């Protein structure tokens, strides 16, 4: 008799929780030992209290941030985002507690800051190693769950490709089935039609059934689900969303007692929104401190080379299409700050010689960090367009207004791919919009940091 151990990756979740918290606590103790070994004698009670409070905050914060929500089969980038959010919550709680009880001077700021940055790095590296090495061996040799796919179309093939690329998920596809009309013979794992699937599931002790059939085949789906009721297999339905060109969401929501699939939603809802705002506040504050001498010199240069105010305010569309005033250094002799204006061109005579230098090096955009602090913009996001330009392009560029489900940014994915400055034709705008939508569909903190670093590199070293 063949014995097979069937262990779901989710059974390891309690162990994972303990390891994550333990990593942070050992990191704190290790850093204290490295930077301040005498503290273990002189402040042993305070260190013990720090460890206890950190452990309590960790359990709560990891749960709130959803770190273990489908962690065994979730995307690595999304999980690392949740880890960063959890660590930020932990240290925010520690900071507020230290301030409330007036004990912040007791603890080493160097240790706390080092732990705040190293802890998420260690956890993300651990995720990579665990999935790529440990889980791969474990899933392939011990805990692989047997699955079948109903549907040999594009969606079914993409599911199979994902399973092949991610063996740590602990899934082994045993067979494919499809309707009589569909050509399934080209697939080597094809075992027949949908009529054969229920019997195959029971005979081979299949644990997972992935249904990847078109939603229009309602009668076929109902018949298949009815026949699968005589099995213990878990069933996952993957609706074909290809009919929705600009899908942003995909989560399941419960509204009025009914289950709904979210086809379009902002990526900055809930914890993601909080994390995005903290990212904007921290980075923009640091940047403004560093560039304040440069901004003073630019302000002086504007005053010496032309008459008029230093800052120029212009109406743009922001979050949810609401107008706001964007700040820039004035680069023109005129001050067109209404809804209607004439867009600048490369050789525009209205631009001063100093203004041309500012535009060429993107220095006129620096006051927008004030917009970020005020909350009307983000550092990274779709670039805000003038109100008149929005009204013109929204009428004939598909998906144009989707960019307004997030705050506009100082820089963005479109700008990193060369689509910045003067818009010469509709194709330029269409390319910008496609990159804006791609950014919203795949947003992550790591993506933001990558765009920021590329912006600094490209603009700071421009010839």
Return the pLDDT at 132: 66
Give alpha helix (H) positions in 306-367.
353-360
Kindly list the structural domains of the chain, giving each domain's residue range(s) and its CATH number in brackets, ordered by start. Answer: 9-140 (no CATH), 144-240 (3.40.50.720), 271-460 (no CATH)
Separation of alpha carbons 106 and 102, rounded Å: 9
The answer to whether the beta carbons of residues 279 and 379 sit under 8 Å apart is: yes
Give the Å distances, CA to CA, from 68 to 9, 23, 117, 131, 183. 11, 16, 20, 14, 40
pTM, full prediction: 0.61
Strands (E), 281-322: 311-317
**Buried/exposed 28-42: b ≥16 CB within 10 Å, e otherwise:** bbebbeeebeebeee
**Buried/exposed 332-341: b ≥16 CB within 10 Å, e otherwise:** beeeeeeeeb
The answer to whether the beta carbons of residues 75 and 53 sit under 8 Å apart is: no
Tokens 């603890």 correspond to 107
Binned average pLDDT, 10 residues per bin, the chain of 463 residues: 42 75 91 85 85 89 76 67 87 85 82 90 84 60 74 84 74 84 62 88 89 80 86 81 60 64 75 85 90 92 87 86 88 66 66 84 88 93 83 80 87 83 76 88 85 76 41
Return the pLDDT at 12: 58
The encoded tokens of residue 66 equal 């959803």
Helix, strand, coil share of the chain (percent; to 5): 55, 15, 30
Please provide residue 108's backbone torsions phi and psi, each rounded to the nearest 5 degrees.
-75, 120
Separation of alpha carbons 399 and 382, rounded Å: 13
Return the pLDDT at 397: 80
Give alpha helix (H) positions in 101-138.
109-129, 135-138
Return the pLDDT at 184: 57
The answer to whether the beta carbons of residues 337 and 312 sit under 8 Å apart is: yes
Return the pLDDT at 2: 37
The answer to whether the beta carbons of residues 72 and 9 sit under 8 Å apart is: yes
**Buried/exposed 161-194: b ≥16 CB within 10 Å, e otherwise:** eebeebbbbbbbbbbbbbbeebebeebeebeeeb
């Amino acid at each position: 008799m063949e014995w097979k151990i069937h262990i779901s990756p989710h059974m390891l979740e309690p162990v994972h929780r303990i390891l994550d918290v333990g990593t942070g606590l050992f990191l704190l103790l290790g850093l204290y030992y490295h930077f301040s070994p005498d503290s273990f004698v002189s402040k042993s009670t305070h260190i013990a209290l720090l460890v206890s409070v950190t452990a309590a905050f960790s359990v709560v914060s990891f749960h709130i941030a959803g770190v273990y929500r489908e962690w065994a089969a979730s995307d690595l980038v999304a999980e690392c985002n949740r880890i960063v959010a959890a660590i930020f919550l932990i240290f925010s709680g520690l900071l507020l507690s230290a301030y409330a009880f007036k004990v912040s001077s007791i603890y080493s700021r160097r240790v706390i800051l080092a732990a705040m940055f190293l802890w998420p790095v260690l956890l993300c590296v651990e995720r990579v190693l665990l999935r790529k090495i440990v889980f791969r061996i474990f899933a392939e040799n011990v805990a692989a769950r047997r699955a079948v796919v109903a549907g040999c179309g594009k969606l079914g093939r993409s599911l199979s490709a994902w399973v092949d690329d991610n063996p740590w998920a602990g899934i082994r596809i045993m067979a494919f089935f499809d309707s009589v009309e569909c050509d399934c013979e080209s697939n080597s794992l094809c075992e027949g039609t949908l009529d054969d699937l229920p019997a195959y599931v029971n005979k081979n002790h299949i644990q997972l059934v992935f249904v990847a059939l078109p939603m229009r085949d309602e009668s076929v789906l109902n018949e298949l689900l009815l026949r699968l009721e005589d099995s213990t297999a878990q069933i996952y339905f993957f609706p074909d969303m290809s009919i929705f060109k600009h899908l942003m969401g995909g989560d399941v929501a419960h509204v009025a007692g009914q289950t709904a699939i979210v086809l379009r939603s902002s990526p900055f809802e809930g914890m993601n929104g909080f994390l995005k705002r903290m990212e904007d506040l921290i980075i923009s504050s640091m940047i403004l401190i560093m560039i304040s001498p440069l901004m003073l010199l630019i302000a002086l240069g504007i005053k010496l080379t032309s008459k008029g105010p230093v800052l120029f305010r212009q109406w743009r569309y922001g979050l949810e299409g609401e107008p706001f005033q964007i700040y820039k250094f004035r680069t023109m002799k005129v001050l067109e700050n209404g809804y209607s204006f004439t867009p600048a061109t490369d050789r525009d005579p209205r631009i001063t010689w100093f203004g041309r230098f500012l535009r060429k090096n993107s220095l006129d955009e620096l006051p927008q960090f004030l917009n970020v602090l005020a909350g009307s913009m983000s550092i990274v996001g779709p670039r805000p367009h003038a109100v008149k330009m929005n009204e013109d392009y929204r009428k004939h560029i598909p998906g144009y207004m989707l960019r307004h489900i997030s705050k506009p940014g100082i820089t963005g994915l479109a700008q990193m791919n060369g689509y910045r400055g003067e818009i010469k034709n509709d194709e330029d705008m269409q390319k910008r919009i496609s990159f804006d939508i791609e950014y919203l569909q795949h947003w992550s903190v790591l993506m933001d940091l990558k765009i920021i670093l590329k912006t600094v590199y490209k603009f700071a070293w421009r010839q």
